Amino acid sequence: MESTGTTELHTVRFLRREGLEALTQKFGLLNSCHGAHPNLVLFKYDQVDSPFDAVEVQECRGLIVDKDDDWRPVAMPFLKFFNYGESNGADVDWSKPVRVMDKVDGSLSTLYYYKGDWHVSSSGRPDGGGSDPNRKLFRDLFWQTWKAMNYTLPDEEHQHYCFMFELFSAENRIIVSPQEELLLLTGARNMQTLQEVDPAIFAERYGWRMPQLFEFKSLAEVTEAAKGINPHFREGFVVCDHRFNRLKIKSPLYVALAHLTRKDKSALNKRRMLDIVRHNEGGEFLTYFPQWTSLYNQVKERFDELCNQAESAWEELKGIGNERDFANACRTRNVADYLFARKKDRVGSARAFYGGMPEKKLEQILPRWKALVDTTPSLTPLVVEAQTDDEEASTATTELPDEEERNVV
């Protein structure tokens, strides 16, 4: 595979020119500082507010920079890559050998070197930390698995690289049930040149395991194979060409199951569709389930209408300086909760606010929601045929943990 990349990031160029606040506001980015080294800042896109066609957004999938060193990149995992069929998906070059890898249903972990130590970041925190004292820290789970697999840290000659792993653990389960705790190497980047390099070189050197590889000769073969995947055991595939252009090709059943929770076993009903809309997951979902476009559009129309109402009300009332007058002006409006939160700088947009609102409360204020629920048939529950090791088929529905239970912080 060819080493490809760039020597300057659009994100760094923007930071040097306009600063952190301008970057986060323009592109809807989230940022987090390292606990022990607060000069290290991690940037991550927001699923709702970030424009995914912007290069800066695609660079910020856990990008870590040093604000005390002219925003120098310290660690950079993958550029955001998309699902096959999404508008921003890469054009994979099949004229040269293409690597098709098991898409492990785990969590991105980036190993990087800074000031004499190797650190690990999650996609959202540069120190792999968290704020919940009752939950295991991401970095602790990473190093626990690292030790259990008898992995060796990179030598001094590779301290200018960062390494991307997928952490696959029962404590961090999403849908696929891990048969064992794993850290699998999925990528490597030279932080001096910002170029990706073939991770297999380092896997062989240090005894790190990589995901399973598959022999496919075309995109059509991969997409056809994905249709037959059992989502209890595999999420899908990642296709990577010689220039490190990547595509995700997921099992359609996995995509469906990813939108279910224990509290709603009726599968892809209208409440699940509302979650898909407000979390901006329509692009992925409709790629695999275009037959639900009509219902998706009906739900999206109502959610957009609510957000537009809220933003219009904010523009109308934001100039009221007196708190009592502002409260009186808001009180009779169905978007009052958003207006109060916006006034106190607790949220930056209506989409972000309603994206986090409990769904039952949101349903009470959505325009014409009850009429939609009463007139639209529920979607058919999904049943997965689970294959045992001896290939005997059994029928089972999937019970997933609630969203807050799925991930280690």
Indicate the SS3 state at residue 227.
Answer: helix
pLDDT given at position 234: 82
Same structural domain for residues 67 and 170?
no
Q: Which amino acid is at 353?
A: F
Place of tokens 């972990």: 109
Residue 78 CB coordination number (10 Å): 21
Asked if residue 380 has pLDDT above 50, the reply is: no
Query: 281 and 201, same structural domain?
Result: no
Residue range 374-383: mean pLDDT, rounded:
50
Contact indicator for 210, 185 with CB cutoff of 8 Å: yes
Tens digits of residue pLDDT in 304-333:
999 999 999 999 999 999 999 999 999 889
Distance (Å, rounded) from C-alpha 92 to C-alpha 270? Answer: 35
- Does residue 401 belong to any structural domain of this protein? no
CATH number of 116's domain: 3.30.470.30
Residue 159: pLDDT above 60? yes
Reply yes or no on whether the pLDDT at 64 is more than 90. Answer: yes
Lowest mean pLDDT among 235-244, 255-264, 290-299, 305-314: 255-264
The predicted model scores a pTM of: 0.71
- Pairing state between β 30-33 and 4-5: unpaired
Q: What's residue 172's pLDDT?
A: 63
Cβ-based burial of 45 (10 A; exposed 0-12, middle 13-18, buried ≥19): buried
Q: Are residues 84 and 57 in the same domain?
A: no
* pLDDT at residue 261 in the model: 43
Of 212, 233, 260, the last residue of a domain is: 260
pLDDT tens-digit readout, 49-62: 899 999 999 999 99
Q: What is the pLDDT of residue 256?
A: 67
Token pair 């995901």 is found at 211
Q: Using the 3D structure, point to which of 40, 75, 110 is the last residue of a domain.
A: 75
Domain that holds residue 284: 270-375
CB 188 within 8 A of CB 111: no
- Is there a single domain that holds both residue 236 and residue 116? yes
Residue 381, domain member (yes or no): no
Q: Would 386 be classed as within a structural domain?
A: no
Position 6 scores a pLDDT of 54
Helix ranges, 228-281 (H): 252-257, 270-278
Indicate if the pLDDT at residue 402 is higher than 70. Answer: no
* CB 277, CB 299: distance < 8 Å: yes
The counts of H helices and E strands in the chain are: 16, 17
Q: Of the residues 232, 260, 288, which one is the last residue of a structural domain?
A: 260
State whether residue 239 is helix, strand or coil.
Answer: strand
pLDDT at 105 over 50: yes
For residues 16 and 98, membership in a common domain is answered with no
Domain count, the chain: 3
Instruction: Give the pLDDT band (50/70/90) at residue 283.
Output: confident
- pLDDT at position 293, please? 87
Share of the chain above pLDDT 90, in %: 59
Mean pLDDT of 82-106: 90
Mean pLDDT score, 245-259: 80
Over 324-372, what HEC string results? HHHHHHHCCCCCHHHHHHHHCCCCCCHHHHHHCCCHHHHHHHCCCHHHH
CA 348 centroid distance within chain = 20
Phi-psi region of 99 (alpha: psi -120 to 50; beta: other; left: phi over 0): beta
- 351 & 281 share domain: yes
Is pLDDT of 379 > 60?
no
User: C-alpha angle 341/347/353, rounded to 5°?
Assistant: 85
Per-residue pLDDT reduced to its tens digit, 120-150: 999 999 999 975 556 789 999 999 999 999 9
For residues 138 and 129, is the Cβ–Cβ distance under 8 A?
A: yes
* Tokens at 276, concatenated: 């898909």
Cα gap 159→176, rounded to integer Å: 33
How far is 222 from 237, CA to CA, in rounded Å?
A: 8
Any idea which residue has 């690990």 for tokens?
120
pLDDT of 374 above 80: no
284 versus 143: the higher-pLDDT residue is 143
DSSP symbols for 77-92: -PPP-EETTSTT----
Q: Which of 4-18, 150-164, 313-327, 343-357 has the lowest mean pLDDT?
A: 4-18
Q: Identify whether residues 242 and 116 lie together within a single domain.
A: yes
